[in-house]
Amino acid sequence: MQEFTLELHEIKIMTTLLFITGNSNKLKEIASLLPSFITLKSLKDIGFMEEIEENEDTIEGNSMLKVLAVKNIYKGMCFAEDTGLEIEALAGEPGVRSARYAGEGKCNQDNINLVLSKMKGILNRNAQFKTVLTFFDGEKNIQFEGLCKGSILEVQRGDYGFGYDSIFIPNGSTLSFAEMDLPQKNVFSHRKKAFSSFIDYFQKTKISDFSL
């Protein structure tokens, strides 16, 4: 249900978007990025328990795939994101395979260990996180990109975050992502950049342009 309020002669829509994820860490991080007029539902909230196989060759493709897998079931506005760590010295790896770099069924620590092993003795530590968000507005899909450039640490640092956060330090910081709380991380975050573009689009688009 949508609730309309009139503020300063502008109509704002209070709405709920489905975030296509089963990852509670991502849900918490994304919720911290959204303005007050948007609240989130997750796949768990709509009873979607199927595993979406992420088998595309690009981050853009995986982000789109998630939306295509759910939008006809949910029949409302929804979005998905896919994120990859791209390391210059490893020719862009782990990239689209970031979540399963060490193999299917492996954990985050296995992925981190593999990266650190491959990067041992390499001087070029340049890397970037890339996020691609796909938004389905009821009729069409729109994609937004966010990048965070930084470098790979030689050892893990920090206890916050998830994924590769403990071995990635963004340019302009002395802390790894895993040493930052969410407000600190959002200053640099690739997800923050992608979602800022998305929210800017969402706010500037007329309500009548959406199929609600």
pTM of the predicted model as reported, rounded to 2 decimal places: 0.85
Query: What SS3 class is residue 127?
Result: strand
pLDDT, tens digit only, all 212 positions of the chain? 444 333 433 445 677 889 999 888 888 888 888 888 888 889 999 999 888 888 899 999 999 999 999 988 887 889 999 999 999 999 999 999 999 999 988 899 999 999 999 999 999 999 999 999 999 988 899 999 999 999 999 999 999 989 999 999 999 999 999 999 989 998 999 999 999 999 888 877 754 444 43
CATH code for the domain in which residue 126 is found: 3.90.950.10
Domain holding 39, by residue range, is 3-209
Which residue in the block uniquely carries the two structure tokens 């650190």?
Answer: 116
Specify the DSSP class assigned to residue 100: G
Q: What is the pLDDT, as a whole number, of residue 13?
A: 62
List residues with catalytic annotation: 82
Total structural domains within the chain: 1
**Helix axes 190-204 and 24-31, enclosed angle (nearest 10):** 50
